[in-house]
Chains A and B, each alone.
Chain A
Amino acid sequence: MKKFKFPMRYVPISATILVFFIVYLIGIISFDNFGSPKVFLDLFVDNAYLGIAVIGTALVILTGGIDLSVGSIIAFTSILIAKMIATGSNALVAIALALAIGIAFGMLQGWLIHCFSLPPFLVTLAGMFFIRGCGFIVSEESIGIKNDPVFNFIQNDLTIKLGKGMNLRFIVIVYIVVLLAAIFFSQRTRSGRSIYAIGDNELAATLMGIPVGRTKIMTYTIAGFCSALAGVVYAVYLKAGNPLNCVGLEMDAIAAVVIGGTLLTGGVGYVFGSLFGVLVLGLIQTLIVFDGRINSWWTRIIVGLLVLAFIFMQNLITKISKSKSKSQ
């Protein structure tokens, strides 16, 4: 055991994957049909929008910041698309506009945070209020998207049938593509590495000549894009928009990032981990629905405990690696 050297930085992500399999195993042992591939596939279908939003949150957290506007942007985007389609616009135009607004909004938040050194928590909090209010201005009622050619095309022609009741939906493919792109971006590109450097030590990064301002604004812009894309996916998923949806989703996103093994102070973690963070959240929810007797509020409590456990583990690891570097 002592001879095998397991790199410390892989511990949190391995723990996440371990938790995922333990929860999955508990489900399979306890319930019929829990092990069916449909349950696994549904995890992706039902959490694709959350997953995409979590990618943006994860990148922002890696820089040491935070983004609370996620849920509101999703709600705003979905209602905007639904409203535009209901008033006769082309769906593609609506989607493009929604994405553009998401990007612009993310950029604005990043600009305020960087250029006026306002706390990210506060700016994105105000952003959250603002954009949700805008959603209500677009429409106070939920609007369904009916008989739209683009949405029907996505629904009917871009879905891969894998068997009875099992459909690999387009939104799942979108999620996986975005996830892979984000993994590549964060690990293999200069800007991606800059994010880690800034999150680890902003001052050091500045001194090293890394364009801190540009990278930070870029990260918030990407987060805005991810949230808007999550909103588009959400609109496709529901075929509807509702300004009331996704209240408090930002907290789920942060929880998923933490459970996915990313350190909240920034600089440590993998975008890949966020996938398992999202899946663990989804599995816990599925487990409680399958049981159907215990109070659903236990979902919240278990997620709270899991977050706590991961924070403790992260703390321990930081301390161990610090003491190691000292002893060396």
Chain B
Amino acid sequence: MNKFATVIMAAAAATLLVTGCSKSDSSKIKVGFSQVGAESDWRKASTESIKGEAEKRAIIELTFSDAQQKQENQIKAIRNFISKGVDVISFSPVVATGFEDVLKEAKEAEIPVVLFDRAVDVSEDGLYVSFIGSDFVEEGRRAGRWVVKNVGENANVAELVGTVGSAPAIDRKKGFEEIIANYPGIKIIKSQSGDFTRAKGKEVMESFLKSPEADQIQVLFAHNDDMALGAIQAIEEAGKKPGKDIIIISIDGVKTMFEQILAGKANCTVECNPLIGAQLFDVVEQIHAGKSVPSRIPSVEGVYDNVGGVNVGTDREPVVTKKITQEIVDSRKY
């Protein structure tokens, strides 16, 4: 029997993990949420917001799954949610494509789906009830408008792009380019992917700073704060002053970035709000109660900089930047 000992050990390990799992209570609203992963501070903040809010609301029973940035894991998770018989499915898609079949299956099983953070690309309507989250293109536009209003109509921009092929990278680039297309004086002279990580952001910025165009770079536009934080280190090492010699603007609005702006090492961050736990479960409860919800719910987001009072929205829908103060930094949770 010795040879089966190992198998039994493995089984015991698995049993240990699931001990204490009770069968679910039918009076609660069962929600299955599939998160992209834990790839950045921003993502972590959104996960905590969702988990924290679910704990606060007694009526919600949350089943949370982390896809580890893999679409295949996410699709499996959604199918399993359907099999498990949750009342509402919510997820933050890893990429825009490839969810059509599984969403149809959810529709067949009459489980409403709420998207969060990123939209999906499907050919028919009605596959999801609502989409809560930021408009990445608009974020890029806001960044572009901030550059136009604060740097002027002539600027050489270096761009740190997000993960190649990911929705935020594509959309933020699109939005930014849309705005600067009207100003021929603003040129993107360097553009390279920093994979949304600090390490790559730093490495790529180092190479920018050694390129022949290094001295012409006036503005750095990073697709997220993590890359900008890496780039700040690289700029300092090159002996330049981040925030002065090179104006830095990025997207996300994490606390570390606020601290850098307050310290004068960066200039602006366009918020992309991860704290949507409350918004999400409000919508879930409304759906469960049979009320209709809007199909597109923008998350409440601001733009923070070291100037304040700049309108980076359109004239019709103004979005005025807030100047970062110590209180704002302290009140930031992530």
Contacts and interface: CB of A to CB of B under 8 A. Distances in A.
Establish whether A and B are touching in the complex (CB under 8 Å).
yes
Contacts of A214: none
B21 A247 contact: no
Contacts of B64: 292-293
B6 A309 contact: yes
B227 interface: no
Interface string B248-270: 00000000000000000000000
Interface in B60-83: 62-68, 70-73, 75-77, 79-83
B76 A141 contact: no
Contact of B68 (A23, A284, A292, A296): A296
Q: Which of A237, A238, A246, A287 has the most CB of B within 10 A?
A: A238
Nearest to A135: B165
B95 A142 contact: yes
Interface string B81-111: 1111100000000011110110001001100
B2 interface: yes
Nearest to B61: A292
Q: Which of B13, B68, B72, B101 has the most CB of A within 10 A?
A: B72
A34 B83 CA distance: 8
Contact of B123 (A142, A147, A247): A147
Contact of B101 (A23, A34, A237): A237
A287 B121 CA distance: 29
Nearest to B123: A146
Given A32-B23, A239-B100, A290 B84 contact: yes
Contacts of A298: 17
A302 B13 contact: yes
Interface in B1-48: 2-4, 6-7, 9-11, 13-15, 17-18, 21, 23-24, 32
Contact of B80 (A42, A155, A240, A302): A42
Given A287-B14, A289-B77, A290-B84, A245 B97 contact: no
B18 A291 contact: yes
Contacts of A297: 66, 68
A39 B80 contact: yes
B164 interface: yes
B179 interface: no
Contacts of A144: 96-98, 100, 121, 123
Nearest to B100: A239
Given A245-B71, A290-B63, A296-B68, A31 B97 contact: no
Contact of B62 (A46, A292, A309, A316): A292
B98 A238 contact: yes
B129 interface: no
Interface string A276-288: 0000001011111
B170 interface: yes
Given A33-B85, A142-B97, A18 B165 contact: no
A75 B166 CA distance: 15
B65 A289 contact: yes
A240 B98 contact: yes
Given A30-B18, A31-B23, A142-B96, A239 B170 contact: no
Given A33-B85, A245-B72, A313 B3 contact: yes
A165 interface: yes
How big is chain B's contact interface, by range? 35 or more
A292 B85 contact: no
Contact of A286 (B11, B32, B76, B98): B76
B76 A46 contact: yes
Nearest to B32: A292
Contact of A295 (B66, B67, B71, B85): B66
Contacts of A294: 17
A242 B101 CA distance: 16
A125 interface: no
A296 B34 CA distance: 11
Q: Which of B18, B23, B24, B76 has the most CB of A within 10 A?
A: B18
A244 B77 CA distance: 19
A19 B11 contact: yes
Interface string B264-302: 000000000000000000000000000000000000000
Contact of A285 (B73, B101, B170): B73
Contact of B71 (A38, A238, A306): A238
B156 to A, nearest CB: 24
A11 to B, nearest CB: 6
Contact of A46 (B14, B15, B32, B79): B79
Contacts of A42: 76, 79-80, 83
A243 interface: yes
A36 interface: yes
Contacts of A313: 3, 6-7
A198 interface: no
A253 B219 CA distance: 45
Interface string A133-165: 000100111111011000000010000000011
Interface string B118-133: 0001010000000000
A30 B4 CA distance: 24
B170 A141 contact: yes
Contacts of A247: 70
B21 to A, nearest CB: 5
B66 to A, nearest CB: 4
16 contacts: A23-B14, A26-B18, A34-B83, A42-B80, A141-B170, A144-B121, A164-B108, A238-B75, A240-B97, A240-B98, A244-B163, A246-B70, A289-B80, A291-B63, A292-B62, A302-B17
Report the 8 A-B pairs with minimum CB-CB distance, sorted nearest first. A292-B63, A238-B98, A240-B97, A240-B98, A296-B66, A144-B97, A309-B6, A289-B80
Given A23-B14, A42-B80, A242-B97, 20 more contacts: A15-B3, A31-B84, A32-B85, A33-B84, A38-B83, A39-B80, A42-B83, A139-B165, A142-B95, A142-B96, A144-B96, A146-B123, A242-B98, A244-B95, A247-B70, A286-B80, A289-B65, A290-B80, A297-B68, A316-B2
